[in-house]
């Protein structure tokens, strides 16, 4: 497929011990609000409103996205219930291990578009791509693939690790 070879050049970067700069849940959510705005404003200038009664996702309005974005899905901040469950079940209460309080999904038509977007995100001023899991190179046993990244994004209150997922629509 178009761009697949270029995508293979994006090798996994999985640093051990990657943690948030804060270890208090209230402080994390306070910081997350500003960082979430910075992330979504960078990706698109306009977003749809969530449908009442539906999953509260927002979608980037076509024509308002950054030049490297095809489609974007904003699920909003991770709910407190989900964060608390993850803290209890996976992180033994260590708040600094929550790296997906702020998250976003980017969706592309081709592997080439996805690869170019990875390069663009890595080159954004003041942003630092610090973790990359390329599951197109090493898919799950059931064949699922995506690229999952963690990026330090600054805001006026400090910086926060955020999760940005990259998908090719035909592989979703």
- Residue 115 vs residue 6, higher pLDDT: 115
Q: Which residues pair with 147 in a beta bridge?
A: 134, 166
- For the chain, give the percent of residues with pLDDT over 90: 75
- Tell me the mean pLDDT in the region 80-90: 96
pLDDT at 87 over 80: yes
Q: What is the torsional sign of CA 163, 166, 169, 172?
A: negative
Task: Reduce the DSSP state of residue 70 to 3 states and report it.
Answer: coil
Put simply, whether the predicted model's pTM sits higher than 0.85 gets the answer yes
Phi/psi at 149 (5° precision): -125, 155
Place of tokens 């592997």: 111
Residue-wise pLDDT tens digits, 9-55: 778 888 999 999 999 999 999 999 999 999 999 999 999 987 777 77
Interaxial angle between packed helices 80-89 and 25-43, expressed in degrees from 0 to 180 and rounded to the nearest 10: 120
Q: How confident is the model at residue 90 (pLDDT cuts 50, 70, 90)?
A: very high
């Amino acid at each position: 497929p178009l761009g697949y070879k270029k995508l293979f050049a994006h090798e996994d970067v999985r640093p051990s011990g990657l943690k948030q700069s804060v270890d208090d849940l209230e402080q994390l959510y306070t910081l997350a609000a500003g960082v979430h705005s910075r992330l979504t404003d960078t990706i698109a200038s306009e977003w749809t409103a969530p449908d009442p009664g539906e999953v509260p996702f927002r979608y980037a309005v076509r024509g308002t996205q950054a030049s490297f974005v095809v489609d974007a899905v904003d699920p909003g901040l991770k709910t407190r219930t989900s964060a608390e469950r993850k803290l209890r079940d996976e992180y033994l209460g260590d708040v600094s291990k929550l790296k997906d309080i702020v998250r976003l999904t980017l969706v592309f038509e081709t592997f080439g578009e996805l690869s170019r977007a990875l390069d663009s995100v890595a080159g954004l001023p003041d942003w630092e791509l610090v973790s990359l899991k390329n599951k197109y190179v090493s898919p799950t046993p059931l064949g699922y693939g995506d690229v999952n990244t963690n990026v330090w994004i600054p805001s006026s209150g400090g910086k926060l690790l955020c999760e940005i997922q990259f998908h090719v629509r035909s592989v979703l």
